[in-house]
Structure 1
């Protein structure tokens, strides 16, 4: 840690409040910090992280401000910065960027360009954000799903857009609960049948969309009642018109079909989503959850249509929603642009055009963003983590990590030496009481240095 104290309360006229002087002081401080970091790194291996932020004018900026953000330009500028501070590209052992194609592209992306110069600069992207992007891509690429989420946001905004409407929603929900209790449709008990409200989805946490969908299904009748009231008694024609349009969408069969479909998809991905957003992550179990998530979504695609359709039809009958004849011809568009395909029936549109396509995009994105190389690299690297008293430590995983991913960093002789050191390491460090409560690799490295054990386990 570098501590720099500046006393601005000096006597006389030297107050150093000029913007130019303050910028010079900050520039000096920044240079000293950078030089100290570079001196500490020396010729050691390191990783690079690159991200952008927006200034007050909403312009995207980075630590290096670039006008051209093509992959080659980014690489050249980053290399120039590394060269300026005597950091060698061949020492890079990790890259972390966002999910944009110019960054993560396998052939011409920034990560691929660095891999050509340094084969061990593996690209590892935030796995929590990867899952979010996989879900976002599904909503964008499938038109019907994209429109569904637009409608969902609009419906929620209409209903909870004011305190008065929110109160009406809760009152309608309370009446519904009372009627269902009176007819023995639901049971009573402590904590059961609590009155809630619709949940707005957040931009950065895609898992919040799951809560929005679940809340709407739970309060569907109450939501319909409030929107219908607004369409008839709204303060002006715009409120009445917007509510009428929202009601038509909300009570359509296609909307409730996608509502239940997305609930099923997000019910499967929500477990992984919650795990990846935890402050302290068990990466090994998270990677296994990625695998089980893919399997369950595949199972939904193969065997889930009949069950989903039955649930949607039951829901539609319960809420008096018109259910189309699944064997009728599907008509696309309206008015003079309406098209009818003799070979396309309603069930084909719902099952193939929405259900299958939405799930296929989901599977494709999960497989693309959670590739086998990165997943295996994370799993093998987890063996070095001291968390939970070295629970994940396995000599074979560490040796495989070296053999498969870093063969040029270790000669055959050094690989044998590493294996021998790991056998002593397992009995010495892992069993030592001073190391049992460590939770990060950086803590472990400091502990090895302070205790002097680093001399015995340099290959580790």
Structure 2
């Protein structure tokens, strides 16, 4: 009996080891476990079962025990066992992360989404400096939530932190997207945490901030009639994509890469004459009256001065932001460069508003004349709406309308969005943080700036005596770190 029991224990341990190693491998590779058909007669029973079968072919002992002789209720291969092993591994990893953090300060990065069954969930990532001085960014937990309002998200985040004895008082940074429930100044998630911890500053991804600012200003340019142009692309009348014909085709704008919108507008301008010819051909020889009617309406729209004006204005506004957009997509951009680019982008937009109206108007008129678009007498009175008397503004010329109601308004709106998304407080915090950068042999290192950073942004983390000591400690550190391998 003892010999038999010992043999069963040994076999069970082998069964469990095979299951654990299979779960670890699939989890590390990010592979699905289950198959569409896991029945015995299936030719592909899913990654997990097929991996165990492979191990069985390589090791006859495993194949014999796991696949043939093991009792049906003791194979250690059921989905419940897989989930239990995964949970144990995850808990072990989280315990290790908690050990790495120790009593140090930490930041949280949070994003929300829906899973395959349309249930709301929230991913939590911890960012911290470990006990060896290295920055770590660890995925920590996925939590199912009832809804995505700020109070619910805060409650669930606090539950996770409390479960692993991570104090909210040690929170020193928050990173979320730009949704109102996250970034709201009064009731957003970042504001709720700031009430509990004064130094838990909120930092929003620069590239996403710019994207949201460009989304907002683009909504002010609805009369571009992008839908009609997209219809031409979708119908195949105008080519898109990459390859040999790319130089003479339109570029479809991407949803998240805002540079693609800029290049799409530029290409539309370059191909304007060809597009007009194409639409004229549809008017004359469309397959049916609906196509010919839509083409006729589209032709009247794009051959208008207003369309040309806003199309070229989009090129200018998106073009000013393009350098910033390109830079923020780079992995190796430093904080100070990003902050400076935000500042110069605002300055260029302001200069465009103040000094470039005349040159821009000349560009529009020249474009219209080159493409046989009628240019109105800009000194005539601007007629609004249905031309009824009570709808008209007093003594507003066409030039005034395009200058003050469109050109200035669009640029002001873009500046307002940039100022709102890239607040001065956040910019100063990030700029000062550059003094901590070890890049180029601590070229940006500045004890004075670091002390100012501690005084203004982290005053609760230092006593009066510690702030006095900090300057002297940094003076020693500056010389010591450069000679420490």
For the aligned pair, the TM-score class normalised by the smaller chain equals 0.7 to 0.9
Matched, 1:139 2:218: yes
Partner of 2:334: 282
Matched, 1:27 2:87: yes
Distance 2:189 2:419 in 1: 20
Distance 1:391 1:235 in 2: 67
Shift of 1:337: 12
Q: Which moved more, 1:215-224 or 1:227-236?
A: 227-236
Matched, 1:166 2:242: no
Q: Deviations over 1:210-231 (max 9, x none)?
A: 1011111122111211222233
Shift of 1:347: 2.2
Map 1:240-279 to 2 at 5 A.
240-279=292-331
**Which of 252, 258, 263 is the equivalent residue of 1:206?**
258
Partner of 2:21: 5
Distance 1:338 1:61 in 2: 53
Map 1:284-433 to 2 at 5 A.
284-334=336-386, 339-432=391-484
Matched, 1:36 2:36: no
Kept after mapping to 1: 8 A contact 2:320/2:349:
yes
Matched, 1:217 2:291: no
What SS class does the counterpart of residue 61 from structure 1 fall into? Answer: strand
Matched, 1:77 2:129: no
Distance 2:269 2:380 in 1: 27
Kept after mapping to 2: 8 A contact 1:159/1:223:
no
Kept after mapping to 1: 8 A contact 2:153/2:189:
yes
Distance 1:313 1:427 in 2: 62
Distance 2:98 2:118 in 1: 32
Q: Which moved more, 1:43-52 or 1:23-32?
A: 23-32
Shift of 1:70: 2.2
What SS class does the counterpart of residue 466 from structure 2 fall into? Answer: helix
Kept after mapping to 2: 8 A contact 1:71/1:103:
yes
What SS class does the counterpart of residue 202 from structure 1 fall into? Answer: coil
- Structure 1 residues 222 and 95: CA distance shift in structure 2, 3 A: same
Q: Deviations over 1:243-292 (max 9, x none)?
A: 33332222111111111111111221111111111011111011011111
Kept after mapping to 1: 8 A contact 2:120/2:148:
no
- Structure 1 residues 117 and 342: CA distance shift in structure 2, 3 A: same
Kept after mapping to 2: 8 A contact 1:331/1:338:
no
Map 1:175-214 to 2 at 5 A.
195-214=247-266
* TM-score of the superposed pair, with normalisation by structure 2: 0.76
Shift of 1:137: 1.2
* TM-score of the superposed pair, with normalisation by structure 1: 0.80
RMSD: 2.6
Q: What stretches of structure 1 of length at least 5 have no aligned partner? A: 174-193, 435-460
Report which structure shows greater RCO (CA 8 Å, sep ≥6).
1
What SS class does the counterpart of residue 396 from structure 2 fall into? Answer: strand
Distance 1:232 1:19 in 2: 64
Q: What stretches of structure 2 of length at least 5 have no aligned partner? A: 1-19, 24-51, 56-61, 123-141
Partner of 1:104: 183
Partner of 1:129: 208
